[in-house]
Each structure stands twice: as structure tokens, then as C-alpha cells.
Structure 1
Amino acid sequence: MKGLYWQQNSSGEEASFIFLEKDNFSVARDNYVKVQVKACALSRIDTKLLTDIKLKKEFLPVGREIAGVVLEVGHKVTSFQPHDEVVGILPLDSEESGLCEVVLVHEHYLTHKPEKISWLESAGTIRDGVRAYTALHYLSYVSPGKTVLIMDGATPFGTIAIQLAQHRGAKVISTVRTLEDKQYLERLTPSVGAKQTLAAHIIDESNGKYHLTESCLEETGGLGVDIILDAGVRLYNKENKEAVEESLPHKHDIIMLLSVGGHWITMEENLQLDPPDSRCLFLKGATVSFLNDEVWNLSNIQQGKYLCILEDIMEKLSSAVFRPLLDEPVPLYEAKVSMEMVQKNQARKKQVVQL
């Protein structure tokens, strides 16, 4: 059975994506479910994380967010029956590519897919939904009256995070990088109720004239932002060219924006705080948390919470609270090219392969 795999060349050359033929497996065993894949979303592979947890190997399966139909269940499976429609995220140590026609997956990584939701929408929402819940419900607590700053909101993840925060009653501020992104967020309105923009204030970075700190403090009456969800930060004043081009905020600006008791959720895995930064956080009673949505798969101690998150994401997708930012469906023969774009952070919309 053919699937897409990531190949790390031993010579140190750049990694490549290739289609490989794998042996077919037999019947589903114990708590495993055999799923016929209908759609598979593509996300960037964190090679450093895989190295840290000793999972890096020559051929790594590509495509973990899947949606499909249950073909067969193991004799210990209690949650699903044949012909059920399911969606889920394959574990980090999965040996199978989500771009195969059929995969075997443990029942605890799946949840039921609502009938009226398409395969593409469910597969394209599940991963960003988990990240948004992790950031706004477990690393912080979004609630009515709070102000949330979401950096680079016109992305697949930013879109879901904005919708979740607004649904919980928070006031949302978001930054955008281009005029097109700004126009997209201005069109993003609630599915029910008043047709107002989900983001109460949009900061346009495209003209280079904005000042993040002044804009946010003015919008909050000088009180600061309760929750900040960044998309990366600059650690020093003189950064590399890539960080400057992406208009990443400086870590000091983020700390200055925090309100008393505020929460900063960062995607910067190499964050370094100087003593003055720590002192400022101490005086504000603020916290810094690192967003790694893989923690649910790295430890099964909170498996029940994880399954509740998956179920709630699908419920909100069904009720149109979540509307994902999807690109046009990708045919299987173009999956390799699309995955190369995703790995290089060149895709601004979610890439979903239709099988």
C-alpha cells in the first residue's frame, strides 16, 4: 500500500518526500480500528522534537490528521463500529502514513465525525483545534471580559484561535502581515448574531508604520493584554534576516504588553529571558507557557481530556463556531509538492489531501 514518507538522507543532504509501497496489514487487533482514509491534512514535521524523543528515522510517515470510515474494529474496541465516520490525529510513533488508503489506529486517537461536516473540513480543523484548546484552555483560561492578542491571526491556527477566544466571550486583537490577510479577518464574522468582525481590533503590519505596544495599550486603556499568543518572537535587537522579514515582535515588547496576572503562550522553543525580563514578569504576577500540542500524545495520563477536546472541536465545527482556513483540495499525486511547501512554511492556508 503506497504512502508518503519523509526521508532523511544520512549524508546530511536536505530531506525529501517520497512515495513508498508498504506491506498490507491484516485484521484490526485488540483496541485498534481499521480506517479507510478519505482526507488527510498536512502539517509541518518537527524534526528536532523527533530527535529529542528518539523517534527520528530514515523513513518517517507523513500526514497524521485523518478523516475516514471505519472498516473493521478489534475485539476490545468499545467506541466505534464498522461504517462509523471518524476523525483524529495519528500518534507520533505511528508507522503508517495518513496518506495511505487504509490505516490502523488505536481507538483513543479518534473521535466521531458529525455527518454534515465534510471530510476536508474535519481533517483540516482537528490539529489547529487541539492547539487552540491547549493554548486558551489549558495553558491559560480564556473567559468573558478578557483581552486576547493573537499574533498573525490570518493563518489556519490563528483563525481557529480567534474563533475560540471570541466564542468564549473574550475581546480579540490580532496582527496581520499583508493587506489580503487584513481583508480576510475583516470578513470573518460570527455564524450567528450580529455580523461584526471576530477580531475587535486588527493591527496591520504590512505598511511598517504600526507600533504593537502603543496599539495594544491604547485598545486596552493602558491596562495591557490578558492573554498573548505569539507566532514566534525576536530574542535580541539584532536578529537574523528571516526574523526581521517576518516582523516578529521583540520579547520585551510582549512582556510590556501583558496585564497584571497575564499569560504569555509562546511558540518560541528557545526562549531566553534576561533578569530584567523575569523581574518584569514577577512584578506583574504574569506567566509564560510553551505551546507544544504534542504533549497529549507524549503522555497518556490525560487521555480523557484529550478525547473531550477532540469531541468538542467536532461539535463546534458542526455548529459553525469553527470555520477553518482551507486551501483547495489537493489530489494525492500533488501531495509531495504540497508537503514541501508546508515544511518550508510557504503555505498560508491549510493543505488537505483528498483521497
Structure 2
Amino acid sequence: MHSIRQRSLGGPEVLELVDVPRPEPGPTEVLVRVAAAGVNPVDWKVRARGGFLGEPPFTLGWDVAGVVEELGRGVTRFAPGDRVFGMPRFPGEAAAYAEYVTAPSRQLARIPDGLGDVEAAALPLAGLTAWQALVETAEVGSESRVLVLAAAGGVGHLAVQIAKARGAYVIGTARAEKHAFLASVGVDEAVDYTTGPVAGRIHDVDVVLDLVGGEAAADALSTLRDGGTFVTVTGAADELRGQAAGRVRLEGILVEPDRLGMEALAELVAEGALRPHVSATFPLADAARAHEAIETGRTQGKLVLTVG
């Protein structure tokens, strides 16, 4: 089978299409014939730095959508032919940039009717990040005022929809040219972060979701009311603790595989409350081009690799 193998650390040129043996599912695992694989910022960061996966060679990718091909011993949740999606093994190696992957069956969920393979592959890592940050950590509800930094990005545009489905008032930051897109996914108030700090323009926020880090995160912290919640996925929590100084709750989150979270996202999709936006697709062999695009930090919504 074909797989995108990374031969060393570095730029996108280190990714190469290779032939490798088809994996076999172990106990409690399923073999999935991959239809599409999502591309996330963590992918290029691991490619460049090693990170969670250490030294190459390894195969990148965590977002997967496809069809169950074979069951390992003890699996009862699925049957061959079922359409499934998920984010298996994160932050370990899932090897989703491939024609086949194996995954623990309880880290996958059924793809809801009406959601295509490409959209399904765009949802798991970004959607679970948003769900675990906003719903399970910050407990966003109908009275919440939520500020999402980088609201037009992969996690951001899904976070907006999840918060809106919970009844929240949502403020999102993005460049002015993306404000129409923000409106289309439900943002109540769009803020152009390029025109100056948001802290002087936004006040009394209950929850901030930081997808940016750096000065933007420190700025956004000041928008929170006393007792508000700041959730970051960027690793900025430690450097912000002094500024928070007990005034607000500060949490750093690393997304985890979660079947129940996937099923909650699938339910929102079925209700018409959540839809991933895919701005571009690339054939599996062009994974390097997808990395070049996402590494700019300017992509809108998600990028997806198509397989087969």
C-alpha cells in the first residue's frame, strides 16, 4: 500500500510516497481503508521538529475517514463496510497519511449520514479540540460570552459553531477579509486583530479560546471578566499564569482521542448545527504541498488529503 513516510526532520521535501506492507489489526482494533485524511498544524510542526513522534522515519497524520475493512479480535462495535472517522492514537503515531490504517475501535465513530468522506476527515482533531476546550473544560452554555482567537481557522471555525450550538454569544478574531466567512459560521461579532489589541474593544468575556499564543493570547486574557476561563491549545498557559494571578481560571489543553466526543460532534452534524469547511484538497502524493499551504498560518477552515 502507499503511505507518506517522513525520512528526516525538516521542510515539506522530507515527505515521500512509499510502498509499505498493509497493517494488520490487533485485538480490539479495526483496519480502515482510508478515503481521506485531514491535515492539521500539528502535522507540520511534528514534521519539522519531531515533537511527539521523536526521530523519523514515521508516518504523519491523525484525522482519518474511511471504511472498516477488517476486524481485530474482540471488536463488536463495527462490521466490515461501516463508514467511520476519528483521531486514533494521538499523540502517538496513527499513520493516517496512508491507504490503510489500524485504530482502536473505541477511538472511532460512525460517520453521520450526509457527511462526505472529505468533510468527515476534516472534523476529528479540530472538532475534538474545540469540544474538549469549550464544552468539557470551560462548560460553555447559553449565558456565555465566548472569544475565539483565529476563528476562521481549522479549530476556530468549528469552535464557533459548537459554542453557538450551546447558545453562546460568540466573538471571533480574523483579518477583515475573512469576516464574511465568520458570519457564515455564526460569529456574532467579528474583530480585525490587525488593527490593534482586542482588549480595548472587547470586555466582560466569560471564555477565551486561544488558538494563537504569544502577544495575542496575553492581550485576550485582559478581555475576561473576573472568574472567567481562558483555555489555550498553544502551550501558553505557563507564561500567562502571572498575568492571570488568580483573577481568572487558566487551562492548557492537549486534545485526546474520545469516542463519546466524536459521537457528540456527529450528532451536531446530523442536527445541522456543525459543518466543517474544507478550503482545499490534495491527493495523498501531494502531502508536501498541503504542508506548504498550512504552514503559512493563513488557511481558512481545513485542508484534506484524498486517498485512493
Q: Same fold (TM over 0.5)?
A: yes
Partner residue, 1:288 = 250
Contact 1:40 1:64 in 2 (8 A): yes
Cα 1:273–1:338 shift into 2, 3 Å: closer
Matched, 1:42 2:26: no
Determine the structure 1 residue equivalent to 2:206: 226
> How far apart are the structure 2 equivalents of 1:96 and 1:135?
22
Q: CA RMSD in A?
A: 2.5
For residue 214 of structure 1, what is the amino acid of its counterpart? G
Amino acid at match of 1:326: V
**Alpha-carbon displacement from aligned partner over 1:127-154 (angstroms, at most 9, x marks no partner):** 1110011111222110111110111211
Contact 2:82 2:110 in 1 (8 A): yes
- In the alignment of these two chains, the number of paired residues is 303
Calculate percent identity across the aligned residue pairs.
23
Q: Who is 1:240 aligned against?
A: none
Contact 1:61-1:94 at 8 Å conserved across structures: no
Q: 1:57: how far off?
A: 2.4
Structure 1 residue 49, shift from structure 2 partner = 12
Structure-2 separation of matches of 1:349 and 1:52: 24
Aligned residue in 1 for 2:152: 154
Counterpart among 100, 103, 106 of residue 102 in structure 1: 100
Q: Distance in 2 between matches of 1:309 and 1:227?
A: 20
Cα deviation for residue 115 of structure 1 reads 2.8
Q: Does 1:201 align with 2:189?
A: yes
**What are the ranges of 5 or more consecutive residues in structure 2 without an aligned counterpart?**
none
SS of 1:116's equivalent?
A: coil
Q: State the partner residue of 2:89.
A: 91
Matches within 5 A, 1:1-355: 1-9=1-9, 14=11, 16-26=14-24, 28-44=25-41, 45=43, 46-47=45-46, 55-92=53-90, 97-177=95-175, 179-188=176-185, 198-206=186-194, 208=195, 210-217=196-203, 224-234=204-214, 248-249=215-216, 251=218, 253-270=219-236, 271-273=238-240, 275=242, 277-279=243-245, 282=246, 284=247, 286-293=248-255, 296-297=256-257, 306-355=258-307
Secondary structure at 1:214 match in 2: coil
- What residue ranges of structure 1 are gaps of 5+ in the alignment? 189-197, 218-223, 235-247, 298-305
Assess, with a 3 A threshold, how the Cα gap between structure 1 residues 101 and 232 changes in structure 2: closer, same or farther.
Answer: closer
The CA distance in 2 between the partners of 1:185 and 1:52, in whole Å, is 32
Letter in 2 for 1:199: V
- C-alpha distance 95-143 of structure 1, shift in aligned 2 (>3 A): closer
TM normalised by structure 2 equals 0.89
* Higher deviation after alignment, 87-96 or 131-140: 87-96
Q: Do the aligned partners of residues 153 and 332 (structure 1) sit closer, same or farther apart at CA in structure 2, a change above 3 Å counting?
A: same
- Partners of 2:93 and 2:143 lie apart in 1 by 45
- Is 2:6–2:47's contact at 8 Å kept on the other side of the alignment? no
Query: Are 2:153 and 2:299, in contact at CA under 8 Å, matched by a contact in 1?
Result: no
Task: Tell me, yes or no, if the aligned pair for 2:11 and 2:47 is still in contact at 8 Å.
Answer: no
Q: Distance in 1 between matches of 2:188 and 2:165?
A: 13
8 Å CA contact 1:8–1:14 kept in 2: the answer is no
Aligned equivalents of 1:162 and 1:95: distance in 2? 29
Give the direction of change, closer, same or farther, for the CA distance of 1:354–1:51 in structure 2 (3 Å limit).
closer
Q: Is the 8 A contact 1:328 1:351 kept in 2?
A: yes
1:30–1:74 CA contact under 8 A, matched in 2: yes
The one-character-per-residue Cα deviations of 1:219-243 (angstroms, maximum 9, x if unpaired) are xxxxx11001122333xxxxxxxxx
Distance in 2 (alpha carbons) for counterparts of 1:250 and 1:134: 19
What's the offset of the Cα at 1:96? 5.8
Contact 2:276–2:301 (Cα < 8 Å) also in 1: no
In 1, the alpha carbon distance for the partners of 2:197 and 2:119 equals 36
Query: 1:320 Cα deviation (Å)?
Result: 1.8
> Do 1:6 and 1:18's aligned partners in 2 also have CA atoms closer than 8 Å?
yes
**Pair 114,335 (structure 1): closer, same or farther in 2 beyond 3 Å:** same
Q: Counterparts of 2:303 and 2:99 in 1: how far apart (Å)?
A: 18
Supply the distance in 2 between the matched residues of 1:250 and 1:84 (Cα, whole angstroms).
42
Indicate the SS of the match to 2:150: coil
